[in-house]
């Protein structure tokens, strides 16, 4: 049942006062968001209402080159997307942005997050005759908006109406022939912000690091439940869905977002440093060096070192030319890729009692391999610290967290986990402490993967292949005919 659909994505939008090479701006923005998804990417350029687009599987740099970008042509708006999804993964049909032609015009849509009611919505739409081409719930969002558009006076009103129907996590960028719209679900699970370049071009992006990449000055975050519409006449905002229980994903700080981004007013780097400091306060360990698992464990390792006084050193080197291990969704391949990706710096490790800091321990397979490598490299002791609390529950809001059966902390007590991964000791940041990492009182965040307190209803059907089952001719899904 808890085989969840996964979408860790990045979205990017451009609105320029004049016609220019918006495709390249979008390309640079997506490049800066590549860490949010490496499976597919796409750019849609709007040239006076004509949408030109290219989307494919692969990294941004593999899909786009100068020639392909120039073929997208000049325009005054663009929407881009990077995707990591395991539903129909590797499949071009799920690449975004989605482009649709509806009764009132064109629309391009880029989405980050996961709905919790997409199964019900899709079933309802199918019963009314809708035909779906993909297996991602983004197409469901596109249908809901275009249906609302039939009886609203403009696209932004249709988006506002849709917000009342969509439940779960969604940070959206929507492009119509004349408007660029940013919308965030009322809980604000995923980040979304906007800024402006000196030439007047507005930029909407998942993270501030993408604004920096295109020299845009950060203006503000889109508020949870807000719909922001950019037109030639300026910006307007609709807040009729604001005021819900804010639940920003705390895992954005620990793992997903880039350390140079600011989310909800808090630096991701600073939050990770604090997580490391809190680990040092909670678990003082007699050791010689602190080593972070690159890249997402590095900041917390520095924090541990600062607070404990134990020197930080670079004991692991990451091959920069390989994507995140999770580029390969199949577990077998993923395990092999760990050794290609990380290597030990022997002189740093040899004979040392090592404190190894990782951002999170999910299945325990990656860290087991890293601990083994450190031991092979001559480490005298390895104490493993996780800057995330114990992963006990699946995420329904867009983070690829596996079934509960494979979550190591959900199935083994702490001492047993240490034995399984081969560490001398293992410690996790406590839930009380993770609430302190952003420097506030800890309210306004979602901790469901750690504490099981979901801010919304949970999906009735969270099966990974729930939509594949609907469209597949594969005999394993034959029960759909019953």
Q: Shortest Cβ distance from residue 401 to ligand AMP (Å)? A: 6
CB 407 within 8 A of CB 392: yes
Of 9, 263, 446, 449, which one is the catalytic site residue?
A: 9
Per CB under 6 A, contacts with ligand AMP among 214-233 are none
Q: How far apart are CA 401 and CA 315, in angstroms?
A: 28
Rank residues 45 and 367 by Cβ distance to ligand AMP and give the closer one. 367
Per CB under 6 A, contacts with ligand AMP among 366-385 are 366-367
| Token pair belonging to 238 | 């609709």
Per CB under 6 A, contacts with ligand AMP among 395-414 are 399-401
Q: How far apart are CA 341 and CA 465, in angstroms?
A: 30
Burial group, residue 344, by CB count within 10 angstroms (0-12, 13-18, 19+): buried
Residue of 108, 33, 31, 41 whose CA lies nearest to 75 = 108
Interacting residue with ligand AMP among 361, 417, 426, 448 (CB under 6 A): 361
| Sole window of 34-42, 55-63, 260-268, 355-363 interacting with ligand AMP (rule: CB under 6 A) | 355-363
Residue of 460, 398, 395 whose CA lies nearest to 121 = 460
| Sole window of 49-57, 61-69, 115-123, 393-401 interacting with ligand AMP (rule: CB under 6 A) | 393-401
CB 19 within 8 A of CB 75: yes
Interacting residue with ligand AMP among 163, 249, 310, 362 (CB under 6 A): 362
Under DSSP, the state recorded for 171 is E
Q: How far apart are CA 399 and CA 133, in angstroms?
A: 23
Residue of 388, 385, 383 whose CA lies nearest to 399 = 388
Q: Shortest Cβ distance from residue 105 to ligand AMP (Å)? A: 37
Rank residues 294 and 459 by Cβ distance to ligand AMP and give the closer one. 294
The position carrying tokens 């059966």 is 405
Q: Shortest Cβ distance from residue 260 to ligand AMP (Å)? A: 18
Q: Shortest Cβ distance from residue 391 to ligand AMP (Å)? A: 8
Check if 9 is active-site.
Answer: yes
Q: Is 414 helix (H, G, I), strand (E, B) or coil?
A: helix
Q: Shortest Cβ distance from residue 325 to ligand AMP (Å)? A: 6
Count, residues near ligand AMP per rule CB under 6 A = 17
Interacting residue with ligand AMP among 2, 167, 359, 433 (CB under 6 A): 359
Interacting residue with ligand AMP among 215, 365, 411, 425 (CB under 6 A): 365
**Residue 299 interacting with ligand AMP (CB under 6 A):** no
Q: How far apart are CA 104 and CA 401, in angstroms?
A: 39
Interacting residue with ligand AMP among 248, 283, 326, 445 (CB under 6 A): 326
**Terminal-to-terminal C-alpha distance of the chain:** 20
**Residue 360 interacting with ligand AMP (CB under 6 A):** yes
What strands lie across the sheet with 381-386, from one edge to the other? 289-292, 353-358, 381-386, 425-428
Residue of 163, 161, 158 whose CA lies nearest to 179 = 158
Q: Please, what's the b/e burial string for 85-106 (b: 16 or more CB within 10 A of its CB; e: otherwise)? A: bbbbbebeebbbbbbbebeeeb
**Residue 89 interacting with ligand AMP (CB under 6 A):** no
Rank residues 70 and 331 by Cβ distance to ligand AMP and give the closer one. 331
Q: At 481, give phi and psi (nearest 5°).
A: -85, -10
Rank residues 197 and 334 by Cβ distance to ligand AMP and give the closer one. 334
| Sole window of 176-184, 313-321, 360-368, 472-480 interacting with ligand AMP (rule: CB under 6 A) | 360-368
Q: Shortest Cβ distance from residue 160 to ligand AMP (Å)? A: 31
Helix ranges (H only) for 241-353 are 251, 268-282, 298-308, 331-341, 346-349
**Residue 2 interacting with ligand AMP (CB under 6 A):** no
Q: Shortest Cβ distance from residue 147 to ligand AMP (Å)? A: 32
Per CB under 6 A, contacts with ligand AMP among 244-283 are 255
Q: Shortest Cβ distance from residue 388 to ligand AMP (Å)? A: 8
Rank residues 312 and 391 by Cβ distance to ligand AMP and give the closer one. 391
DSSP per residue, 96-107? SSEEEEETTEEE
- Hey, which residues are catalytic here? 9
Residues binding ligand AMP (CB under 6 A): 255, 293, 296, 326, 358-367, 399-401
């Amino acid at each position: 049942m808890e085989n969840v659909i996964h979408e860790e994505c990045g979205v990017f939008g451009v609105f320029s006062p004049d016609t220019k090479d918006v495709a390249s701006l979008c390309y640079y923005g997506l490049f800066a968001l590549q860490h949010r998804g490496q499976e597919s990417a796409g750019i849609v350029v709007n040239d006076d209402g004509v949408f030109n687009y290219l989307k494919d599987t692969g990294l941004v740099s593999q899909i786009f080159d100068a020639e392909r970008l120039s073929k997208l042509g000049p325009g005054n708006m663009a929407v881009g997307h990077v995707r990591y999804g395991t539903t129909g993964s590797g499949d071009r049909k799920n690449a975004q942005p989605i482009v649709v032609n509806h009764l009132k015009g064109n629309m391009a849509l880029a989405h980050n997050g996961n709905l919790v009611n997409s199964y019900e919505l899709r079933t309802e739409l199918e019963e009314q005759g809708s035909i779906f081409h993909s297996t991602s719930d983004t197409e469901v969002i596109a249908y809901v908006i275009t249906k609302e558009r039939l009886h609203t006076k403009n696209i932004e009103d249709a988006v506002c109406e849709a917000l009342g129907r969509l439940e779960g996590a969604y940070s959206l960028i929507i492009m119509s022939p004349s408007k660029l719209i940013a919308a965030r679900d009322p809980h604000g699970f995923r980040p979304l912000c906007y800024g402006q370049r000196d030439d007047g071009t507005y930029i909407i992006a998942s993270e501030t690091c993408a604004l920096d990449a295109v020299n845009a000055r950060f203006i503000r975050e889109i508020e949870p439940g807000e719909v922001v519409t950019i037109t030639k006449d300026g910006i307007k905002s609709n807040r009729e869905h604001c005021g819900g229980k804010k639940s920003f994903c705390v895992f954005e700080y620990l793992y997903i977002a880039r350390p140079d981004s600011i989310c909800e007013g808090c630096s991701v780097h600073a939050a990770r440093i604090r997580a490391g400091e809190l680990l040092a306060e909670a678990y003082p360990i007699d050791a010689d060096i602190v080593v972070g698992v690159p890249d997402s464990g590095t900041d917390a390792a520095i924090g541990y070192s600062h607070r404990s006084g134990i020197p930080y050193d670079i004991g692991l080197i990451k091959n920069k030319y390989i994507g995140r291990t999770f580029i390969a969704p199949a577990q077998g391949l993923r395990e092999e890729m760990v050794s290609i990706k990380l290597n030990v710096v022997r002189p740093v490790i040899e004979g040392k009692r090592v404190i190894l800091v990782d951002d999170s321990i999910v299945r325990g397979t990656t860290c087991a391999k890293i601990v083994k490598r450190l031991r092979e490299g001559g480490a005298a002791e390895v104490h493993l610290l996780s800057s995330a609390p114990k992963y006990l529950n699946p995420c329904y809001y867009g983070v690829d967290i596996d079934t509960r059966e494979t979550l190591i902390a959900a199935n083994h007590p702490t001492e047993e986990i240490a034995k399984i991964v081969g560490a001398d000791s293992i410690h996790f940041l406590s839930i009380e402490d993770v609430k302190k990492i952003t420097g506030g009182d800890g309210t306004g965040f979602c901790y469901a993967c750690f504490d099981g307190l979901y801010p919304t209803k949970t999906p009735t059907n969270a099966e990974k292949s729930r939509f594949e089952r609907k469209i597949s001719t594969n005999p394993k899904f034959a029960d759909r005919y019953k």
